[in-house]
């Protein structure tokens, strides 16, 4: 019986596998010129410098899905959107990311200063919708979840960086 179950399940599991890709969610997240929404317009506050990339991501507003592996979310048919751009020279960069429709979402923003597509707490910056206080673990989704309307929904995301040995927060005077 076990062999039969494996023979049936294995092809289904391998067929659904999506290989890792930093491009996952980008086509769905890309805003189009003069598009009315639904989308988030995120103003980025308190960048440490203008190096690297900004990576804005949208997740379902549930604890189990917030910051979950993008492959898992896509395979399950859940919302995942990504926009990744070189850090703009603008004093307050604005990023646009499309969403499937009005609703509640969790938004994260990574300042990937070394362009390695991973968060390095010693070097990179991180921010979230609703700007929760950052500790040594991800914030609870209830502190991050934000409502989006049918049009363009404005966000301000304050970046947080390692400050000293034991704290993570906005740069002095940037909140």
DSSP letter string, 128-153: ETT-PPP-SSPPPHHHH-EEE-SSEE
From residue 108, give the alpha-carbon distance in Å to each of 23, 58, 89, 128, 157: 16, 7, 21, 4, 9
Residue with the two structure tokens 């707490």:
121
- CATH hierarchy code of domain 23-163: 2.60.40
Predicted confidence at residue 174, as pLDDT, reads 61
Q: What proportions of the chain, in percent to the nearest 5, are helix, strand and coil?
A: 15, 35, 50
Judge contact between 174 and 133, C-beta under 8 A: no
The Cα–Cα gap between 85 and 56 comes to 9
Looking only at the bridges linking them, the beta strands covering 152-158 and 167-169 are unpaired
CB neighbourhood size of 6 (10 A): 11
pTM for this one?
0.85
R_g of the chain, CA atoms, integer Å:
18
The Cα–Cα gap between 70 and 76 comes to 10
pLDDT in single tens digits along all 175 residues of the chain: 544 444 444 444 444 555 556 788 888 899 988 888 899 999 999 999 999 999 999 999 999 999 999 999 999 999 999 999 999 999 999 999 999 999 999 999 999 999 998 899 899 999 999 999 988 889 999 999 999 999 999 999 999 999 877 788 898 766 5
From residue 60, give the alpha-carbon distance in Å to each of 79, 110, 147: 6, 17, 11
């Amino acid at each position: 019986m076990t062999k039969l179950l494996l023979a049936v399940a294995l092809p289904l599991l391998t067929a659904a596998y999506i290989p890792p890709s930093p491009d996952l969610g980008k086509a769905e997240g890309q805003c189009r010129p003069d598009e009315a929404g639904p989308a988030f317009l995120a103003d980025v506050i308190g960048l440490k410098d203008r190096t690297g990339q900004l990576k804005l991501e949208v997740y379902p507003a549930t604890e189990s899905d917030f910051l979950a592996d993008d492959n898992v979310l896509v395979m399950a048919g859940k919302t995942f959107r990504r926009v990744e751009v070189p850090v703009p020279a603008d004093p307050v960069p604005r990023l646009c990311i499309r969403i499937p429709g009005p609703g509640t979402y969790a938004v994260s923003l990574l300042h990937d200063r070394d362009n390695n597509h991973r968060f390095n707490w010693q070097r990179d910056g991180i921010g979230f919708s609703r700007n929760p206080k950052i500790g040594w673990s991800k914030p609870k989704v209830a502190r991050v979840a934000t409502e989006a309307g049918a049009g363009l929904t404005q966000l301000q995301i304050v970046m947080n960086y390692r400050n000293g040995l034991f704290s993570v927060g906005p740069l002095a005077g940037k909140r």
